[in-house]
Structure 1
Amino acid sequence: MKITVAIPIYNAERHLNVTLDSLINQTMDSNDYEVICVNDVSTDNSVKVVETYMEKQNNIKLINRTENSGGPMLPRNDAINEAKGEYILFLDNDDFIGEETLERFYKSAKEYNSDVIFGKYIGVNGRVVPQSMFKYGNLPNAEILDHNLVFSLAPHKMFKVDLIREHNIRFHKEAVVGEDQLFVMQCFVKAKVITVLSDYEYYYVVKRGDENLSLKYFPAKNFFYSFNNIMKTIEESDLSSLYKTKLSAAFLNRFLHASRLRGHIFSNLLTTEQKIDWLNETKKFIDNHVSDELINLLPSRFHYFVLIARENDLQKLLMVHKRMESVSPNQITRVENGWIYARFKNTKKYLAYDEEHTVNHVNKSDVFVDNIVLDETHCEISGQFYQSLLINMNVNNELVLVHRKSGIEKRVVDNLVSNSGQFKFKFNYQEFVIDENSVGPWDVFIEGTIGGYRKRRRLGQARRTDLVKRVNMDHKGILPRLTNSTKEEVNTEKEISFDHVLSFGKKYIVKAYFTKGHDNLSFDIKLNK
């Protein structure tokens, strides 16, 4: 048997036909795969629906549990124990798969000797599904960190059964939330080969309108079960020390961003007593798993939360959180090692503190182009670049030209104006037209740096409405004024070429233009043959 498809079923009568139809219509021979439906004591006609399909297909099996388990965890374990396939694919009872999914999965899994394999997800009825890991194309051996797999911890994947059984990986009954993340992370850590396929619409995740659990209350201890064990899984793994640190930070970032933890503590959903309980468990989690090194690897928007939660001070946490969004330039004390620090003070009788917190996440930037002048050999760009929290700081601005294909950067460091927040750069085209590897688009950015902190913005879209680009060449004339023409017309007008740029004996054509769609400034380089 090649594949076992495991479907936990609970009151799925309305949706089950679509799920099962997608399985009986697979291009894989029905003798090569089995479908195990685990009925978790449904109270509707789900069992009858499955039995109807069993009369048509001899590869569909039904397991009837005698006691409702309260979730898909134990039914999935039942399927693991009964599976006869080399691989097991977990499918929810209201989702469905493309008709070539099993055949494609198995072929690729055997070709690459995959321990875990999954394909492109498609959201149905407005369901939002992760996509960033699919932008790289097919990945025979994907990297958890490099390919964003930490953001794809749903169980809708195919796993090698021997991997699961050898390491005794199961879904945990105690995990009332995040049980799928724990199972998948355990498999990711143990897997030698994880394969990601982007060449077909493999798995359709359906939104039914009743899957938002954010308003349901879970005791904090139960909530943290999965996440404590995920961190423990990483810490106790055979991965290299540096990789474990990076993976722990990546998961922690995901956890703080996507979980309901901060939402519960900062919202009005919980009573003060419940929030205290959640903060107690948060402190335990941080004490056990979150070092200062990990905190420094997190975005600044989580720093104050972790640091104050470690103190277990609910009132202070709520107050700093409330004041975080109104930080002013006057509160900035220093910029060091890439972090912007602001002073937070409170001198109330029962709540007093005077300390710094990082505020990178509330630093807003604004860029505006005043003028662009092009001539036969040079381009001059001037404008304004302000950062909301750094107006009193001496920020160093540089112009950065980035080769779109290779990522090579050419920096223009000589700012011709000294006024804070303003810039004026002039550069020769030959500075970035170096050789044939220079051909293709070069995008233009402004970058401000101070104390290791960097803020980069794309140039061109925000500009004077009456901006005229002058070309000091008799045979080229003047580029038209910007108008309210359509995007296509504007982008046809706003471009000009210099066909005489000479570099190491070869001639190049340099075309300045504004990109379609985003309307930013770029230079396109072509070899003049």
Structure 2
Amino acid sequence: MKITVAIPIYNAARHLNVTLDSLINQTMDSREFEVICVNDVSTDNSIDVVKTYMEKVNNIKLINRKENSGGPMLPRNDAINEAKGEYILFLDNDDFIGEEALEKFYTSAKECKSDVIFGKYVGANGRGVPQSMFKYGNLKNADILKHNLVFSLAPHKMFKVDFIKQNNFYFDKKAVVGEDQLFVMQCLVKANVITVLSDYEYYYVVKRGDENLSLKYFPANNFFYSFNHIMETIEESGLSSLYKLKLKAAFLNRFLHASRLRGHIFSNLLTYEQKKDWLNETKKFIDNHVTDELIGLLPSRFHYFLLIARENDLRKLLMVHNQMETVNPNKVTRVENGWIYSNFKYTQKYLAYDEEYTVNHLNTSDIYIDGIILGEDLCEITGQFYQSLLINMNVENELILVHRKTGIEKRINYNEANSSNQFKFTFNYREFVLNKEMVGPWDVFIEGSIGGYVKRRRLGKARKTDLLENVSEDNKGIMPKLSQSNKEKFLPKKEIMLDNINSFGENYIVKAYFTKKHDNLSFDVKLKP
């Protein structure tokens, strides 16, 4: 048997036919895979639906649990124990898969010797699904960090059964929240080969109106059970120390962003006493797993939360959280080691503090082109680069030309504009027309930096509407260094060709243009025939 498909079922009669139809229509021969439906004491006619399909095909098996388990964990474990397949795929009772999914999964798994394999997710009925790990194309052996696998901890994947059983990886019955994340993280950390397929729409994740578990209340200690064990799994693994640290940071970033923790503490879902209980458990989690070094690897929007939660001071946390909405340039105290710091003050009889917290996440930016002049030898680009929290800071702006194919960068660091919020760069095309290896598109960015903090923006989309007009008599001489053999040229609506640019004895043609998809400025370098 090649594959076991495991489906925990609870009151799914309305949706189950779509799930099972996607299985009986697989291109894989039905004799090569089995479907194990584990009924978790449904109170509707889910069993009848399954039995109807069992009359049509002979590869569907039904397991009826005697007691409801309260979640999909134990039914999935039942399927693992009963699995006859070399691999097991977990499928929810209201999702479905593409017709070629099983065949493609198995072929790739055998070819790559995969322990874990999963394919492109597709959201159905308005469901959002992770996509960043699929932008790399098919990956025979993906890396958890490099390929963003930490953002795909749902169990809708295929696992080698021997790999699961030899490592005793089962869904923890004590985990009422995040049980799938714990199981999948254990597998990802231990797996020798993780395969990701992006060439086909494999798994359709369906949104249902009653699936939002975030509306249910769980005691804080139950909530943290899985996440404590995930951090322990990473720490106790055989991974290198630096990889462990970065993996913890990646998971913690996901956890703080996507979990209900901050939502519970900052919303009206809980009473004040319940919030104190949640903050107390949060402090325990931080004390056990989150170091200052780890906090430094996280986005600034989580810094104040973790630092104050470690103090276990709910009143202060709520107050600082509200004050985050009032941060402005006048409250920025310094920019150091890549962090923008703002001062937070409050003085009352029973709560007082005067401290700094990082606020990088509150710094917004905008970029605008006032003018682009193309001459025979030189190009001039002028505009504005605004950063909301740094208007009182001496930000240094650079123009960055990036070779699209190699990623090589050419920096133009002399800004002729007087203000840090403005820029004026003049450069010779031979700054980036170097040799035959550097032909192809060069994309244009403006980068502002101060105290190790760097903000980079793509240049071109936001620009002056009359930028496309020809240069007037009043504007002649704006670039005295330009060759006068030809008139200065403003960039036209689509593109302009610059001919006979010489570099190291070779002649090149440069085409300045706005990219079709995103309408940004680029230069395309070609060797002149």
Partner amino acid for 1:204? Y
| Residue of structure 2 equivalent to 1:299 | 299
3-state SS of 1:325 partner: helix
1:213-257 residue CA offsets vs partner (Å, 9 max, x unmatched): 222111111111111111110011111111000000000000000
Instruction: Supply the distance in 2 between the matched residues of 1:100 and 1:183 (Cα, whole angstroms).
Output: 26
1:302-321 residue CA offsets vs partner (Å, 9 max, x unmatched): 00000000001111111111
| Residue of structure 1 equivalent to 2:64 | 64
3-state SS of 1:155 partner: coil
1:346-399 residue CA offsets vs partner (Å, 9 max, x unmatched): 111111001110010101212222221110011011122221111221111111
Q: Name which of structure 1's ranges 507-516 and 89-98 shifts more when overlaid on structure 2.
A: 507-516
| Residue of structure 2 equivalent to 1:487 | none
| Residue of structure 2 equivalent to 1:484 | none
| Residue of structure 2 equivalent to 1:367 | 367
Q: Name which of structure 1's ranges 188-197 and 420-429 shifts more when overlaid on structure 2.
A: 420-429
| Residue of structure 2 equivalent to 1:118 | 118
Percent of aligned pairs sharing the same letter: 78
Q: Name which of structure 1's ranges 119-128 and 411-420 shifts more when overlaid on structure 2.
A: 411-420
Partner amino acid for 1:160? K
* Alpha-carbon contact 1:18-1:94 (below 8 Å) kept: yes
| Residue of structure 1 equivalent to 2:28 | 28
* Alpha-carbon contact 2:376-2:486 (below 8 Å) kept: no
Q: List structure 1 segments (4+ residues) > 3 angstroms apart after TM superposition.
A: 468-481
Partner amino acid for 2:443? D
| Residue of structure 2 equivalent to 1:181 | 181
| Residue of structure 2 equivalent to 1:434 | 434
Partner amino acid for 1:498? L
* Alpha-carbon contact 1:7-1:37 (below 8 Å) kept: yes
Q: Name which of structure 1's ranges 20-29 and 66-75 shifts more when overlaid on structure 2.
A: 20-29
3-state SS of 2:449 partner: strand
Instruction: Supply the distance in 2 between the matched residues of 1:469 and 1:321 (Cα, whole angstroms).
Output: 52
Partner amino acid for 1:245? L
Instruction: Supply the distance in 2 between the matched residues of 1:414 and 1:475 (Cα, whole angstroms).
Output: 26
1:173-195 residue CA offsets vs partner (Å, 9 max, x unmatched): 22111111110000001100000
Instruction: Supply the distance in 1 between the matched residues of 2:491 and 2:232 (Cα, whole angstroms).
Output: 63
Partner amino acid for 1:125? N
Listed as ranges, the matches of 1:187-266 within 5 Å are 187-266=187-266
Partner amino acid for 2:405? K
Listed as ranges, the matches of 1:471-510 within 5 Å are 478-479=489-490, 490-491=493-494, 495-510=495-510
Indicate whether 1:412 and 2:402 are aligned.
no
* Alpha-carbon contact 1:369-1:460 (below 8 Å) kept: yes
| Residue of structure 2 equivalent to 1:39 | 39
1:350 and 1:408, CA in 2 relative to 1: closer, same or farther beyond 3 A? Answer: same
Partner amino acid for 2:56? K
Instruction: Supply the distance in 1 between the matched residues of 2:96 and 2:438 (Cα, whole angstroms).
Output: 47
Listed as ranges, the matches of 1:53-202 within 5 Å are 53-202=53-202
Instruction: Supply the distance in 2 between the matched residues of 1:118 and 1:432 (Cα, whole angstroms).
Output: 42
1:150-200 residue CA offsets vs partner (Å, 9 max, x unmatched): 000000000011111111111112211111111000000110000000111
* Alpha-carbon contact 1:371-1:469 (below 8 Å) kept: no
Instruction: Supply the distance in 2 between the matched residues of 1:33 and 1:524 (Cα, whole angstroms).
Output: 52
* Alpha-carbon contact 2:373-2:488 (below 8 Å) kept: no
Structure 2: runs of 5+ lacking an equivalent: 472-481
* Alpha-carbon contact 2:9-2:46 (below 8 Å) kept: yes
- Deviation (angstroms), 1:437: 2.2
- Deviation (angstroms), 1:469: 6.1
| Residue of structure 1 equivalent to 2:525 | 525
| Residue of structure 1 equivalent to 2:475 | none
Instruction: Supply the distance in 1 between the matched residues of 2:470 and 2:363 (Cα, whole angstroms).
Output: 32
Instruction: Supply the distance in 2 between the matched residues of 1:521 and 1:110 (Cα, whole angstroms).
Output: 45
3-state SS of 2:466 partner: coil
**TM-score normalized by the length of structure 2:** 0.96
Partner amino acid for 1:180? D
1:125 and 1:185, CA in 2 relative to 1: closer, same or farther beyond 3 A? Answer: same
* Alpha-carbon contact 1:373-1:469 (below 8 Å) kept: no
1:437-464 residue CA offsets vs partner (Å, 9 max, x unmatched): 2222111111111111001112222222
* Alpha-carbon contact 1:116-1:187 (below 8 Å) kept: yes
| Residue of structure 2 equivalent to 1:456 | 456
Instruction: Supply the distance in 2 between the matched residues of 1:258 and 1:439 (Cα, whole angstroms).
Output: 43
3-state SS of 2:154 partner: coil
* Alpha-carbon contact 2:515-2:522 (below 8 Å) kept: yes
* Alpha-carbon contact 2:231-2:289 (below 8 Å) kept: yes
Structure 1: runs of 5+ lacking an equivalent: 482-489
Q: Name which of structure 1's ranges 319-328 and 285-294 shifts more when overlaid on structure 2.
A: 319-328
* Alpha-carbon contact 1:417-1:423 (below 8 Å) kept: yes
- Deviation (angstroms), 1:325: 2.2
Instruction: Supply the distance in 2 between the matched residues of 1:39 and 1:316 (Cα, whole angstroms).
Output: 48
| Residue of structure 1 equivalent to 2:340 | 340
* Alpha-carbon contact 1:380-1:427 (below 8 Å) kept: yes
* Alpha-carbon contact 1:430-1:501 (below 8 Å) kept: yes
1:415 and 1:72, CA in 2 relative to 1: closer, same or farther beyond 3 A? Answer: same
- Deviation (angstroms), 1:476: 6.6
* Alpha-carbon contact 1:374-1:472 (below 8 Å) kept: no
Partner amino acid for 1:400? I
1:473 and 1:90, CA in 2 relative to 1: closer, same or farther beyond 3 A? Answer: farther
- Deviation (angstroms), 1:465: 2.3
Aligned residues: 518
* Alpha-carbon contact 2:397-2:423 (below 8 Å) kept: yes
Q: Name which of structure 1's ranges 375-384 and 150-159 shifts more when overlaid on structure 2.
A: 375-384
* Alpha-carbon contact 1:286-1:306 (below 8 Å) kept: yes
1:469 and 1:142, CA in 2 relative to 1: closer, same or farther beyond 3 A? Answer: farther
Instruction: Supply the distance in 1 between the matched residues of 2:430 and 2:107 (Cα, whole angstroms).
Output: 50
Instruction: Supply the distance in 2 between the matched residues of 1:246 and 1:480 (Cα, whole angstroms).
Output: 45
- Deviation (angstroms), 1:519: 2.1
* Alpha-carbon contact 1:90-1:156 (below 8 Å) kept: yes
Partner amino acid for 1:111? E
* Alpha-carbon contact 2:142-2:194 (below 8 Å) kept: yes
Partner amino acid for 2:124? V
Partner amino acid for 1:367? I
